[in-house]
């Protein structure tokens, strides 16, 4: 099964353990909005909070491209503050795990 399929299944089922199994121990998430980087532990905390929230919703998720080295996905995310973003993420892959993710997010109007 592809990393994307395992990742999305874990997120949709709010299975934090399965989601984190897709992430390498030396993982880094680059946050371009703040110029900071999150490690695997920080990602786990963020995912845990998102999974616990009734006000965070993902829709129109799709895999743009995936091979053994890279995963590109697009998703719409609704946040608790009422905003919606179109998020494009690129993750490098090694040994079937995400090692680094960078995202581009565009604020969009809800229709």
**Domain coordinates of the chain in residue numbers?**
3-108
Pairing of strands 70-78, 84-94: antiparallel
**pLDDT at residue 74, rounded to an integer:** 98
**pLDDT at residue 35, rounded to an integer:** 80
**pLDDT at residue 52, rounded to an integer:** 95
**pLDDT at residue 71, rounded to an integer:** 98
Task: Please give the class, per CATH, of domain 3-108.
Answer: alpha beta
DSSP state letter for 10: H
pTM comes to 0.90
**pLDDT at residue 53, rounded to an integer:** 93
Which residue numbers in the chain have pLDDT < 50? none
**pLDDT at residue 33, rounded to an integer:** 74
SS3 70: strand
């Amino acid at each position: 099964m592809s990393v994307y399929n395992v990742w999305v299944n874990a997120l949709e089922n709010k299975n934090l353990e399965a989601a984190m199994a897709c992430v390498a121990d030396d993982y880094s998430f680059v946050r371009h909005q703040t110029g900071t980087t999150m490690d695997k532990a920080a990602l786990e905390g963020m995912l845990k909070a998102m999974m616990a929230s009734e006000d965070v919703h993902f829709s129109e998720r799709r895999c743009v491209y995936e091979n053994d080295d890279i995963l590109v996905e697009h998703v719409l995310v609704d946040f608790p503050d009422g905003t919606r973003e179109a998020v494009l993420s690129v993750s490098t892959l090694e040994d079937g795990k995400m090692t680094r993710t960078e995202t581009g997010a565009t604020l969009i109007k809800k229709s």
